[in-house]
Amino acid sequence: MNNHIDLSIFRLNKKRQILKLCMLFLSALLIFNVACTKGDNSTAKVAGGESLYDQVIRTGVIRASYADYPPYCIKDPKTKQLSGIMVDALNEAAKRLQLKVNWTEEVGWGTIFEGLNSNRYDIFGAGVWQNASRGKVSDFTRPMFYNVIKLYGRINEKRFSTSLEELNNPSVRISTQDGAMDDLIAKSDFPKATKMSLTQLNPWTDVLLNITSGKADVTFAEPGAVNLFLEKNPGTLKELMPDRPLRCFGTCFAFKLGEVKFKTMLDSALEEMINDGTFERIIREYEKKPGELYRTAKPYQEPGNN
């Protein structure tokens, strides 16, 4: 009898030990899972988050940031109303998609992509030039046209007529704006030159005023923006080495990396606008001189033109 009781107690204790071990194992597993979840919040957010496309369709609104950069984005100093090639294009594309654009904030060129990837806004609506470094931090729509970047100096400038290598010298002062394309070109192509850099808060025209006032010698800019400046400041600047563009870029809208459905939707509207002539009409309204902007090639061949 006693032996039977002792054996039963032994078996009971054994079961309790096994149960205790199982509980300890489950507790450890739960703690491990919680630790993994805390260590990888990004995965949880992505898995349970809302895509840019879904958000825009749900709200009916595209939140756009901008920078005052004529002729692509022009901010009226009195009314604060926005216009320009890219502003009109985005408003028209949104209208065709039965959406609305809210122009939410003005940003500096160096903070565009930070704001996109932190979801402060959905798109940069003033247009950017697509390049390799920007492609690492942003996605883009299809190019709507192309820009060439050329060299500009004072009207009486007699240097830099035969070789760009002359620019790579500490005695040459290049006017730039932090984070803008002129700044990137100066740093990559002419590292020895002296940079006369302005902050992102300065109006872009201050880059050209640095030259006309004698503070700098040259800058890199596109013909359309310079021609607008010359309307109010005639006879102050000239194009140096006209047959030697420094860069050619496709102009696009930029948005957060990985938003494929949003890109497909917006590209469809932009493609329609290009093919039906809407985009050409918008460009001609703001283009000061023919040929300032390089058009995209037609994606088709007309019958009989083989």
Q: What is the pLDDT of residues 120-147, one digit of tens each?
A: 999 999 999 998 889 999 999 999 999 9
Domain ranges within the chain, ordered by starting residue: 52-146+250-290, 148-248
Q: Cβ-count burial of 128 within 10 angstroms (0-12 exposed, 13-18 middle, 19+ buried)? A: buried
% the chain with pLDDT above 90: 67
Query: Closest Cα to residue 82, out of 125, 35, 145?
Result: 125
Arithmetic mean of pLDDT, 248-270: 97
% the chain with pLDDT above 70: 84
Q: Give pLDDT, residue 2.
A: 36
Residues, the chain: 306
Q: Is 129 helix (H, G, I), strand (E, B) or coil?
A: strand
Query: Closest Cα to residue 116, out of 137, 88, 85, 131?
Result: 137
Query: Closest Cα to residue 126, out of 97, 90, 152, 150?
Result: 90
Query: Closest Cα to residue 182, out of 218, 154, 217?
Result: 218
Q: Give pLDDT, residue 254.
A: 98
Confidence tier at 297 by pLDDT (50, 70, 90): confident
> 237 Cβ partners below 8 Å, 6+ apart?
152, 153, 154, 155, 208, 211, 212, 226, 229, 230
Confidence tier at 12 by pLDDT (50, 70, 90): very low
CATH of domain 52-146+250-290: 3.40.190.10
pLDDT in tens, 44-88: 233 348 999 999 999 999 999 999 988 999 999 999 999 999 999
Helices (H) and strands (E) in the chain, counts: 11, 13
User: Is pLDDT of 43 > 60?
Assistant: no
CATH ID of 148-248, from 2.60.15.10, 3.40.50.2300, 1.10.10.10, 3.40.190.10: 3.40.190.10
Name the more confident of 184 and 237. 237
Residue 95, φ and ψ in degrees, nearest 5: -60, -40
User: Is pLDDT of 18 > 80?
Assistant: no
CA distance 262 to 259: 6
Lowest mean pLDDT among 3-7, 119-123, 177-181: 3-7
CA distance 265 to 262: 5
